[in-house]
Amino acid sequence: MNTYLTLLIILPVFAAFLMYFFRKADNWINIAIMSFVTLFGTVSSLVMLFSQGSEVVALGGWKPPYGIVLVGDRLSLIFVALIYLITYLIAQFGGIERTKVNDHKSGALFMLLTAAAAGMILTGDLFNFFVFMELAAISSYVLIAKGGCRSSYTGALKYIFTGGLASMLMLLGIGILYNTTGTLNIAHLMLRIGLVGDSLRWLALGLVLCGILLKMEVFPFNLWVPESYKGAPAGMKIVLGSILSTVGGYTLIRLYPILIQNPGLIKMLLPLALLSLILAELAAYREKHINRLLGYSSAGQMALVMLAILFGGRMGIYAAIFIVIAHALAKAVLFFVGAHFKKSTDSSMWESYRGLSKTSPIGAVLFTVAALSLTGIPGMMGFWGKLSMIGAGLASAKYFSIGIILIITIVEGVYFLRISGTLYQSNESDVKAKASYLLIPAVILVLIIVLIGFWPGCISKIINGGVSAAERSSEYAKLVLDYLL
């Protein structure tokens, strides 16, 4: 088991190097390599998640807190399985690698991105997290720019500068934390954070959060969102929407025990999250371009996750995990179906999708189901997340925030239903459905969404395990530093 946890990171890296030798071969070899690696990751992380509890790997054999550790506990394994599932679907069913020439290079970057996402989730070291964050960032800058149109470059450049600023601020925060606590290990940091004076802790955590908020597309750091989502190639849109933001959400959940010790910081982040939610969803409401709309919607959902974490408590963490998973699955469906629509109609404006339900009935159904799940209609997966989120808000008596969340949910429902309504309007155009293979992964994901929606009990045990792992610092610290406690 020890080996498998390491392999989750180094196997994609090996694949990235291996692709160089197949640079003149047919494209299907690259696709086969990527599919094999990601399928292996999905299966092995699911097996680890279901079979046993937790695993800590001391890389290089240096025990924590001195060396770098990989922590596969009940929380991180959920997310690794999730991102590997989505990367598998991207690798297998089109996306990045089928669009342009120079395939082995973008395939290698995609594999590095996968490794970086897995590394960000599994690592138990703050600086190592920063390194993998930058690896993911650099790969995604290039892959966004591969879209080749003007907004790809604009989006990638905005992402580079916002990301560079945020990650440097994060590095400053890491420096302050190391300077005052003398450690970089997250579990050790959870125990020693109390040593730092109040104002300095506030500053250091605020700076560290900058990097995470960038990945979560929260307000001051989401200026890059619309252009990047618009210009990125189809597969990269899914990576942005359901992998990188998922990783950001996971990290915030992981840092919850540290955050909760700073009521002042939480008081400051709450209005930020609310502002981000309102701005993103209102921008999405006004948007005519489907991909920019979905990007804004991602930002809104991630603000929702942040709110759930700030509400706190078992219920809040449960809601956060549930919403992150529901969002990742639904957003992947929407982007797959969106790419299918784009190929069919050769347009990205949702108003031109009038009557598409005739040409692509399955696509229309999938889109509607995913949109409903994202909104939180009862019977869908997103509903249970929003329900427990409201429970968490009531428990912590944040009535104002709950009111705003409910209003914004209505806004969200309206703009998604507007698109679905457009799909089902009658229209006499004769559009041919193209690239229907993009619907296969969407069908798989929608089946998962519906299954969990009608029977949330099937994963609530796993998520509850994750909540226990995330909620208290003592659990995590006991796992990582077990020889000391």
| Residues of span 69-98 touching another protein by CB under 8 A | none
Both tokens of 197, joined, read 């004076």
Task: Mark residues 403-432: x for contact with another protein by CB under 8 A, - for none.
Answer: ------------------------------
C-beta of residue 166 within 8 angstroms of C-beta of residue 177: no
Using CB under 8 A as the binding rule, whether residue 456 contacts another protein is answered as no
Which of 1, 17, 397, 436 touches another protein by CB under 8 A? Answer: 17
The DSSP line for 391-418 is: HHHHHTT-HHHHHHHHHHHHHHHHHHHH
Residue 369 near residue 450 (C-beta atoms within 8 A): yes
Stretch near another protein under the rule CB under 8 A, chosen from 171-179, 208-216, 327-335, 382-390: 171-179
Closer CB to another protein, residue 47 or residue 58?
A: 58
Count of Cβ atoms closer than 10 Å to residue 50 Cβ: 10
Tokens for 258? 């540290």
| Least distance CB 222 / another protein (angstroms) | 13
Nearest CB to another protein, comparing residues 16 and 85: 16
Distance of CA 248 to the CA centre of its chain: 6
If binding means CB under 8 A, how many residues of this protein chain bind another protein? 93
CA angle 244, 245, 251 (to 5 degrees): 90
Q: 14 or 424: whose CB is closer to another protein? A: 14
DSSP code per residue over 183-195: --BHHHHHHHGGG
Would you say 162 or 276 has its CB closer to another protein?
Answer: 162
55 contacts another protein (rule: CB under 8 A): no
Closer residue to another protein in complex, CB, 126/449: 126
Q: Is 41 in the site for another protein (CB under 8 A)?
A: no
> Which 191-250 residues touch another protein, going by CB under 8 A?
191-192, 194-195, 197, 199-200, 202-203, 226-227, 230
Determine if 277 is a binding residue for another protein (CB under 8 A).
no
Residue from 39, 172, 266, 411 that binds another protein (CB under 8 A)? Answer: 172
Dihedral-angle region of residue 377 (phi above 0 means left; psi in -120 to 50 means alpha; beta otherwise)? beta
* C-beta separation of 412 from 323 below 8 A: no
Among positions 129-158, residues that touch another protein (CB under 8 A) are 131-132, 134-135, 137-139, 141-142, 145-146, 149-151, 153-154, 156-158
Q: Which residues of 298-332 are buried (b: 16+ CB within 10 A; e: fewer)?
A: bbbbbbbbbbbbbbbbbbbbbbbbbbbbbbbbbbb
How far, CA to CA in Å, does 255 sit from each of 9, 193, 252, 386, 465? 22, 12, 5, 22, 17
Question: What sign does the dihedral 352-354-360-364 (CA atoms) show?
Answer: positive
Segment contacting another protein (CB under 8 A): 61-69, 234-242, 248-256, 384-392? 61-69
Min dist. Cβ of residue 64 to another protein (A): 9
For another protein, the closer CB: 13 or 218? 13
441 cis-preceded (ω within 30 degrees of 0): no
Closer by beta carbon to another protein, 85 or else 118: 118
Applying CB under 8 A, which of residues 32, 36, 105, 448 lies at the interface with another protein?
A: 105
Residue number with CB closer to another protein (143 or 320): 143
